[in-house]
Structure 1
Amino acid sequence: MKGKVKRFKGKKSWSELVGTAGHAATIIIERQNENVDAIIVEEGSSVSTDVRCDRVRIFVDENDIVKEVPKVG
């Protein structure tokens, strides 16, 4: 077996935050899962394809509204 398998801890996705303000979403996510950093990303921006169990990307539109379900990865 190669290396250890990383396991996600805590809540993994936040479908209830679609349509809310991005800044508010970061606070809620980081309170509900202290193992992650929530990062706001403008919709359509280029992002890396690596999967990380300590990161949640929050994709927002030009009005800072969450457009996709934020999830660990």
Structure 2
Amino acid sequence: MEKKEIYLESLKTATPQEGRELAIKLARKSVAAIQTDGEIRKKLRNDYAQDTAQLIASSQVIATEFQTIAMANNFWK
């Protein structure tokens, strides 16, 4: 059985900035899990980098991840 990298030990972060960085990482890891071929991801990057709708959709995914992280951190209260 293949040993997998553990990149998400907790949703807890010290600050909202760390939470946002984690949200971006989670979004990127999700894309890599869906499209496992790194070369194909590199080829597609130029397409979405110039497509406003795709960039907005990516931002929405990050916002959803950040919302989850913020809730897990009790909104850093």
Q: TM-score, normalised on structure 2?
A: 0.29
Flag the structure with more relative contact order, 1 or 2, with Cα contacts below 8 A and sequence separation at least 6: 2
Give the strand-richer structure, 1 or 2. Answer: 1
Give the helix-richer structure, 1 or 2. Answer: 2
Larger Rg: 2
Q: TM-score, normalised on structure 1?
A: 0.30
